Amino acid sequence: MGTASTNPNVNYLTEFSGIKSWLFSLDHKRIGLMYMIAILFFFLVGGIMAMLIRLELFSPGPTLFSADTYNQVLTYHGAIMVFMVIVPGIPAILGNFFLPLQIGAADVAFPRLNLASWYVFMFGAILAFTTLFTTKIDTGWTFYTPYSIKTGTAVITIVLAAFIMGMSSILTGLNFIVTTHKLRAPGMSMFDMPLFVWSLYSTAIIQVIATPVLGITLLLLVAERVLGIGIFDPKLGGDPVLFQHFFWFYSHPAVYIMILPAMGIISELISAFSRKTIFGYKAIAFSSLGIAAVSFIVWGHHMFVSGQSEIAGVIFSFITMLVGVPTAIKMFNWLATLYKGSVSFESPMLYALGFLFLFAIGGVTGIMLATLGVDVHFHDTYFVVAHFHYVMVGGTLMAIMGGFYYWFPKMFGKMYNEGLARLTFVLIFIGFNVTFFPQFILGAMGMPRRYFDYIPAYESLNKISTIGSWMIAAGFFLALYVIIRGIISGPKAPANPWGAKTLEWQTSSPPPHFNFDKKPTVTGGPYDY
């Protein structure tokens, strides 16, 4: 590590220099940026895969590549986007950067563990990448048995990679829970914390409790392949559906690992750009915990047509409806915050409003799919693909973009071009709807998901969907340009460009190495406008 400067104008970006000062940094902000660089790269690769999938589906029959290659590209897209982009995205980048700042702490509770999490994540990600691009993986990101036991591809290595990345997720979650409990600024009670912190806290609980189950499940899969222990193989007395139980016990809560922090960002944005105290603070905070709790007992809705018993199906269908309650509490509280607020439409707010619109569609179609009788027909059609993209992309990615534009001045001390940033929203928002709304119709018409080919009746809607994907790509490349241009030549950002009230805006932009020159004392709530 380099030497600390005595210049009062230095910040976390300039205080130390050299590649070692980054690779061995214990500063949560620098670690957050290292995650950002890695995850942006994975997002680019996963995005290219998505474009290839849409290009292949532009017309029926082989367009770009063979059916086998299509299966692999589909697996690359799913595995990269889920395990390397959306699950770690918000907690690892924005959570690492802003959790300590928002609670007035100098760093996370365990800085070394934080750096270790990054290395563990990178090791898992590199292993996954090497496996994906040097061997053939065609199981999809879910690794369902019995196919994943029988297929000759490198399932073991990719599963181990997912296991290692899961370990990183657990360490990050553990760090965040301890940080939230132990390092809050004097005077800050749990109910004085910003709602983004509440959402990260709820997410961390899921990360710590659910991820080990994924780890054990994946190891059992390896044991099944190598030793033939007979847990999932029917020939040995095992049950392939049991794999799905274990897998979704983690992977459904994982959906909330993706969306809960996104909801936290939306709470920040809506309050800041409405210039108004958030409506129903405690209701939003508790609804995060409520979503985290309910998320553990709804996994069977992924298995309605798997061979799971009808009684289990009915129970899971009923419980799944409950998720709608805390989610709706959040939606109504956000809308109530907007009501009579001084709403301004800067780019972060546009993304927040886009989130409300798209997530409402994703959520309501989720309730449709939770209905047992309906899901039997929609299962494994493009309706499901459209639904989860509305939640994961329309929800999480919109929030990431909004949060990134919101906190960009704090992270880099620069402002970006607001006009171009708004244009990115227009391109991504319209492109997203053009891409995925037709897929609801395709699903309702019966087009199955994951298929390489389709009948001519589906062609026109597939063409529209592919054209939409080009708009999304244009939006993201423009966003990359806006960010790079902002970092290189953007005007200097003030400490608090949005006039927001949370603690991270009370320090300079970018913050000093230990965040605050003087430990802040909290005397009011985070949204006292």
Partner 1 sequence: MSEHHVMPLKTYFKVAGGLVLLTILTVVFHEMKMGALAGPVAFLIAAVKASLVLLYFMHLKYDNMTNRVIFGSGFFFLILLFAFSYVDIWTRIKSFSTL
Give the residues lining the site for partner 1 (CB under 8 A): 209-210, 213, 234, 237-242, 245-246, 249, 296-297, 299-300, 307-312, 315-316
Q: How far apart are CA 187 and CA 90, in angstroms?
A: 27
- Based on CB atoms, which residue is closest to partner 1, 306 or 496? 306
Q: How far apart are CA 433 and CA 439, in angstroms?
A: 10
With beta carbons less than 8 A apart as the criterion, state whether 163 and 131 touch: no
Distance in Å, CB of 297 to partner 1, minimum: 6
Give the residues across from 381 on adjacent strands.
Answer: 448
Distance in Å, CB of 204 to partner 1, minimum: 13
Distance in Å, CB of 222 to partner 1, minimum: 20
- Based on CB atoms, which residue is closest to partner 1, 232 or 505? 232
Comparing CA positions, the residue from 132, 133, 150 lying closest to residue 141 is: 132
What is each CA distance from 290 to 206, 217, 302, 507, 515, in whole angstroms?
A: 12, 26, 20, 33, 32
Q: What is the per-residue DSSP string for 332-349?
A: HHHHHHHTTS-----HHH
Q: Residue 381: phi, psi to the nearest 5?
A: -110, 175
- Based on CB atoms, which residue is closest to partner 1, 146 or 497? 146
- Based on CB atoms, which residue is closest to partner 1, 231 or 384? 231
Token reading at 460: 């026109």
Q: How far apart are CA 36 and CA 494, in angstroms?
A: 23
- Based on CB atoms, which residue is closest to partner 1, 171 or 358? 171
- Based on CB atoms, which residue is closest to partner 1, 245 or 389? 245
Residues ≥6 apart with Cβ < 8 Å to 189: none
Distance in Å, CB of 242 to partner 1, minimum: 7
Tell me the residue type at 315.
I
Distance in Å, CB of 321 to partner 1, minimum: 16
With beta carbons less than 8 A apart as the criterion, state whether 93 and 36 touch: yes
Q: Using the Cα atoms of residue 216, residue 217, residue 219 and residue 220 in order, give the sign of their dihedral.
A: positive
69: enclosing H helix or E strand: helix 67-79
- Based on CB atoms, which residue is closest to partner 1, 299 or 527? 299
Distance in Å, CB of 105 to partner 1, minimum: 20
Distance in Å, CB of 375 to partner 1, minimum: 16
Give the residues across from 414 on adjacent strands.
Answer: 492
Number of other CB atoms surrounding residue 477 within 10 Å? 14
Distance in Å, CB of 496 to partner 1, minimum: 37
Number of other CB atoms surrounding residue 69 within 10 Å? 16
- Based on CB atoms, which residue is closest to partner 1, 305 or 457? 305
With beta carbons less than 8 A apart as the criterion, state whether 418 and 444 touch: no
Distance in Å, CB of 312 to partner 1, minimum: 4
**Helix intervals (H) in 445-518:** 459-489
Q: What is the 3-state secondary structure (H, E, C) of 126-182?
A: HHHHHHHHHCCCCCCCCCCCCHHHHCCCCHHHHHHHHHHHHHHHHHHHHHHHHHHHH
- Based on CB atoms, which residue is closest to partner 1, 315 or 360? 315
Distance in Å, CB of 211 to partner 1, minimum: 12
Distance in Å, CB of 363 to partner 1, minimum: 23
- Based on CB atoms, which residue is closest to partner 1, 143 or 299? 299
- Based on CB atoms, which residue is closest to partner 1, 217 or 435? 217
Q: How far apart are CA 85 and CA 219, in angstroms?
A: 23
- Based on CB atoms, which residue is closest to partner 1, 54 or 301? 301
